[in-house]
A and B are shown apart, each in its own frame.
Chain A
């Protein structure tokens, strides 16, 4: 009897919390398609006033499609660097015996402990003034080019593969690169999906770094141009709320949809390795 009462309480707590978590998303999505997003509780479920005008409104001020493309290029660059160089490094650390293997492992642990706020000023000086990469995709991508968490995840997965398989392939005369590409990588495909998802949200959601190095509005990813809209343009607009919610929806929903599709790859054990400092 005590058990059933406890179970009942459990569902009340969970459902209440889930509503608190989900409500702002509901508000965002509905408001994005409303002529006048509500501020009162009695019109939370609107039946009329639907419009796509908010998207055209914000698009006339910040070039929604251009910003989305910038976000995509930024994210794709980080993904490419992380997958190519992360696979190589992760494989080397997990399966190859070479000088400097231990040192590389220690470096990876140290990198996780360096806080970005300490690097922000020197990186800004180095990349915009030293390399002249302000307002370029390369400058945006460089600080995130190889995600250390991804290298960790890859090396853990490679380590779990049976040793005999590698020995047999080496006896057959396969080179290490060939071994990696045609034997090891196909076996760690789940790790690849996890890494792509974990890495994707970093640059897609990142605000501070691209905000620092892009002054040219045509180079700004969506997170930056939406923030500019919120902090500068909105004040001089008659009815900015719908447009803000339309921009927020455009930025948020690609990630939400990706996550819902692939949510079984987001398990606690993968994310245990994904803890970032």
Chain B
């Protein structure tokens, strides 16, 4: 304030104008958004920088108050992680998961949303049924699926002689596909909702003119609906990829910690095991960064593939 020229002091109107230019008409807005900004700094910005720091240093936990040098080690942690067969296996498992989960999710949610669109009776009852698994805690539903898919469970007793052996969750070739099936089932309602919103924006006239041209239901679905909801498809693809890369609860509980013998382990499960159980936060942070890079690349690819040509 000391540097304000004397002329401005004599002219309160101009002072106010220049203050307004700097702080805005309602500077109290800064105060209103301050708690949120502090929250973002403490919970997002600082840990994000810290994650990068940990990944590039030989970081380990020490007793409180003890200062020990944690030297910069360049890409060492990344080399350790990328030559670890368990880490590579977890990324391959995620690949298997995505190959099953993503196509199923896109096709089923698009078909069910189309079936639910425009004047179905009991629409809200159907919507509740589809949406409830998405809202329910995964821990609850995993408990139910575990019993349904156990060796002597309901699914196997319905299948009778067709039941796989070893059973779903303890077979190294079926564990990951069963998790993929479970996650598809749990998340589908949310994607149906996204497609329902997108379908509102597909012009009715397109369907009508396709009908006058003699197109049947399937032809209209392919020529009008699918291209009409293209932007929703991009969103669904990206969200399904992110969800798939984030798996933790399902392999932790459903297959008892990524079993059998790592066949359903996931990167986030390894982050937990290495970072917290085995106290190697540096390699865990490196896995986290690799995962984010892989997810980013996959999402970009999905975005590119669904762009209008």
Partner of B242, one of A115, A226, A263: A115
Of B48, B144, B189, chain A has the most CB atoms within 10 Å of the CB of B144
Report how far A28 CA is from B292 CA in the complex, Å: 36
Q: A21-B130, A38-B154 are in contact. Are A89 and B28 (CB under 8 A)?
A: no
- 15 new A-B contacts, CB < 8 A, other than A92-B30, A227-B253, A259-B135, are A14-B116, A18-B125, A21-B185, A39-B157, A88-B36, A89-B33, A98-B26, A99-B27, A100-B33, A104-B37, A117-B292, A120-B272, A231-B256, A269-B197, A275-B194
Partner of B51, one of A122, A252, A277: A122
Partner of A275, one of B26, B154, B235: B235
Report how far A126 CA is from B27 CA in the complex, Å: 32
Chain A residues with Cβ under 8 A from B99's Cβ? none
Shortest distance from the beta carbon of A10 to any chain B beta carbon, whole Å: 5
Chain B residues with Cβ under 8 A from A125's Cβ? 50, 54, 61, 281
Partner of B140, one of A28, A41, A91: A28
Establish whether residues B284 and A255, one from each chain, have CB atoms under 8 Å apart when the complex forms.
Answer: no
Establish whether residues A122 and B26, one from each chain, have CB atoms under 8 Å apart when the complex forms.
Answer: no
Closest residue of chain A to B188 (Cβ to Cβ) is A21
Establish whether residues B139 and A251, one from each chain, have CB atoms under 8 Å apart when the complex forms.
Answer: yes
Establish whether residues A230 and B146, one from each chain, have CB atoms under 8 Å apart when the complex forms.
Answer: yes
Establish whether residues A115 and B246, one from each chain, have CB atoms under 8 Å apart when the complex forms.
Answer: yes
Interface size on A, residues (CB 8 A): 90
Q: A39-B152, A96-B26, A118-B288 are in contact. Are A124 and B275 (CB under 8 A)?
A: yes
Report how far A266 CA is from B194 CA in the complex, Å: 12
For chain A, residues 236 to 265, give those with C-beta under 8 angstroms from any C-beta of chain B.
Answer: 241, 244-245, 247-249, 251-252, 255-256, 259-260, 263
Residues of B participating in the A interface, judged by any CB pair closer than 8 Å = 22-30, 32-33, 35-37, 39-40, 42-44, 46-48, 50-51, 54, 61, 64, 108, 111-112, 115-116, 120, 124-133, 135-148, 152-154, 157-158, 185, 188-190, 193-194, 196-197, 200, 216-217, 235, 239, 242, 245-246, 248-249, 252-253, 256-257, 267-268, 271-272, 275-276, 281, 284-285, 288-289, 291-292, 295
Chain A residues with Cβ under 8 A from B248's Cβ? 117, 207-208
Establish whether residues A89 and B50, one from each chain, have CB atoms under 8 Å apart when the complex forms.
Answer: no
Of A27, A119, A249, chain B has the most CB atoms within 10 Å of the CB of A119
Chain B residues with Cβ under 8 A from A275's Cβ? 194, 235, 239
Shortest distance from the beta carbon of A268 to any chain B beta carbon, whole Å: 3
Instruction: Report whether over half of chain A's contact residues are helix, strand or loop; otherwise say mixed.
Output: helix
- 18 pairs across A/B with beta carbons < 8 Å? A10-B120, A17-B126, A22-B132, A27-B144, A31-B147, A40-B154, A88-B33, A93-B33, A96-B26, A96-B32, A100-B29, A125-B61, A177-B28, A205-B139, A207-B249, A230-B142, A251-B139, A259-B128
Chain A residues with Cβ under 8 A from B189's Cβ? 21
Shortest distance from the beta carbon of B149 to any chain A beta carbon, whole Å: 11
